[in-house]
């Protein structure tokens, strides 16, 4: 496994999805002030690569930045060139995993079924993103850990401040937090204080559960 300094200490990735650059800058600062040290910018907008580069320059050495919703190796290469330090996919995409492993870039492939989870692990996933986690809940993570205790799992999608402790007890190794933190209404109204407070609540919930 490739050691990510901040993620190994605070195993939460904040996911900023499809936001304009002004929103990304404000939301990233709010999450950082709230205690997040790992952020993912999804490639839903053409300017996402520039956003990654901007944040990498601003938070060099203070935050780990990655690209999400990466669908092919070319997009992964462009993201890494822009400064992405890790890659996240929504599904099991062997070409993206192969690209990342060949360049020692941590990769977090999305998977749901036991077959996909095992395939992602064997292909070289840093952690396997179990997505969408809310569809099956902590009990599913516990079930996966039965036959696969050595596979690191990162439930993503619908993980709340209240449910983090349940997921940890079930065996989760990390978390992807998107819309629960970067709520659409907060982003649109630029309510950065609300995001900062919620980020702090996630950090405290994680520490309390650990």
What pTM, to 2 d.p., does this model score? 0.96
Q: What is the pLDDT of residue 150?
A: 96
Q: Which of 126, 129, 180, 196 is catalytic?
A: 129
Mean pLDDT for the stretch of residues 15-29: 97
Taking 90 as the threshold, does the pLDDT of residue 49 lie above it?
Answer: yes
pLDDT band at 157 (very low <50, low <70, confident <90, very high): very high
Q: What is the pLDDT of residue 3?
A: 59
Contacts of 165 (CB under 8 A, 6+ apart): 205, 208, 209
φ/ψ of residue 124, rounded to 5: 120, 25
The top-level CATH class assigned to 18-209 is alpha beta
Q: Where are the domains of the chain?
A: 18-209
Mean pLDDT for the stretch of residues 184-202: 97
Q: Which of 40, 85, 180, 196 is catalytic?
A: 40
Q: Where are the alpha helices (DSSP H) in the chain?
A: 5-9, 21-34, 48-58, 73-82, 94-102, 114-123, 138-145, 164-170, 184-188, 192-209
Known catalytic residue: 40?
yes
């Amino acid at each position: 496994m490739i050691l990510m300094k901040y993620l190994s200490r605070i195993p939460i990735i904040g996911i900023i999805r499809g936001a304009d650059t002004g929103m990304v800058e404000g939301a990233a600062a709010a999450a950082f002030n709230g205690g997040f040290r790992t952020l993912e910018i999804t490639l839903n907008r053409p300017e996402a690569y520039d956003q990654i580069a901007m944040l990498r320059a601003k938070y060099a050495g203070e935050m780990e930045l990655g690209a999400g919703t990466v669908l092919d190796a070319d997009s992964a290469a462009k993201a890494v060139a822009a400064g992405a330090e890790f890659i996240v996919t929504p599904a099991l995409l062997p070409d993206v995993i192969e690209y990342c492993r060949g360049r020692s870039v941590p990769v977090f492939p999305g998977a749901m079924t036991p077959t996909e989870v095992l395939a992602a692990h064997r292909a070289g996933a840093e952690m396997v993103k179990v997505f969408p986690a809310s569809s099956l809940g902590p009990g599913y993570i516990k079930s996966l850990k039965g036959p696969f205790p050595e596979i690191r799992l990162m439930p993503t999608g619908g993980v709340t401040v209240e449910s983090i402790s349940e997921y940890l007890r079930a065996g989760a190794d990390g978390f992807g937090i998107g819309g629960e933190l970067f709520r659409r209404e907060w982003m649109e109204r630029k309510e950065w204080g609300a995001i900062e407070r919620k980020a702090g609540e996630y950090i405290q919930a994680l520490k309390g559960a650990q």
